[in-house]
Amino acid sequence: MLKIENLCKTFNKGQIDEKIVFENLNILINDGEFIIILGGNGTGKSTLMNLIAGSLIPDRGKIYLDDKNITNLPEHKRAKFIGRVFQDPMKGTSPNLTIEENLSLALLRTKKRTLSFGINKNNREFFKEKLSELNLGLEDRLNTKIGLLSGGQRQAVTLLMATIVHPKILLLDEHTAALDPKSQEKILELTNKIVSDNSMITIMITHNMDHMSRFDARIVKL
C-alpha cells in the first residue's frame, strides 16, 4: 500500500515566481492497483512522480509504503523497490553500455555493491529469456550498445530494466509520448503484459484517452 498524507510542495518559496504545486494532497493506493494521473500542464503530475521516487523531498507531509515512512529516504535507496520509465527513451539507460551491461546494472539494484560487475553465464541466460519475451529479437543482440537501438526498442529495454527485480511500485511518466504510433502500440502491449504478470502498484501519466482505456485503472485528477 502506498499512502500519501498531507503532502505539500512549493517551488521558489517566498519569491515573485512562487508556485504552490501541492497543498495537503492525500492519495491512498492499494497493492497491485493501477493508477492513471490526469491533469493539465503545471498541475504537478511529474512532480508527484519525483516525490514518490525520491528525486524531490516534500516541504511537509509524509509518504508511506507498506506502513513504512519513506518520505526522506534517498532516491538511490528507493530504487531497490521503485522502477521508473521516463518519456525520453534516452533516459534510464547508459547509451555507451551494451544491452547486457544495462540489464546487469538494473539487476544489481537490489544487491550489495561489490567490485564485480555481475555478468555471468546464469545472468546472461536470464537476460536472453527476458528479452525474448519482448519479441523484438534483442535476445540475440546482448553485446549491442543500447544507444544504437531505435526509440521503441530502447523503451522496451528500459521497461524491462525497471521491472526486472519486481519492484513494489512502477512509475510510467508519459513513457509512450516520444514514440511513433507503431512503437507506442508495442510498448503499451508490453506494459499491459508486465503489469498483469506482476503484482505491483503502477502509476502512469498519459494524455491519450485511447491509452487509458487499455488498462483496468483508477483515474486520479490533480
CATH code for position 138: 3.40.50.300
pLDDT of residue 116: 54
φ, ψ (nearest 5 deg) of residue 120: -140, 180
pLDDT of residue 120: 73
If you average pLDDT over residues 83-112, what whole number do you get? 86
**Separation in Å, CA 172 to CA 6, 18, 52, 163:** 23, 28, 12, 11
pLDDT of residue 188: 92
Q: Would strands 60-65 and 2-11 be described as parallel, antiparallel, or unpaired? A: antiparallel
Buried b or exposed e, range 103-134, using 16+ CB within 10 angstroms? bbbbbbbeeeeeeeeebeeebeeebeebbeeb
pLDDT of residue 39: 84
If you average pLDDT over residues 47-75, what whole number do you get? 95
**Separation in Å, CA 165 to CA 1, 58, 80:** 18, 27, 8
Pair 34, 205: CB distance under 8 Å: no
Q: Give the range of the structural domain holding residue 120, as residue numbers without chain letter.
A: 2-221
Average model confidence (pLDDT) across the chain? 90
pLDDT tens-digit readout, 102-141: 999 888 876 655 545 556 778 889 999 999 988 999 999 9
Provide the sign of the torsion angle of the four alpha carbons 50, 53, 57, 59, taken in this order.
positive
Beta-bridge mates of residue 19: 11
- Three-class DSSP category at 72: coil
Tell me the pLDDT band of 61, cut-offs 50, 70 and 90.
very high
- Considering its fold, how many domains does the chain have in total? 1
If you average pLDDT over residues 161-174, what whole number do you get? 93
Pair 128, 173: CB distance under 8 Å: no
If you average pLDDT over residues 175-181, what whole number do you get? 89
Buried b or exposed e, range 91-100, using 16+ CB within 10 angstroms? ebbeeeebbb
Rg (CA), the chain: 18
If you average pLDDT over residues 168-190, what whole number do you get? 91
pLDDT of residue 3: 97
pTM over 0.85: yes
φ, ψ (nearest 5 deg) of residue 89: -60, -15
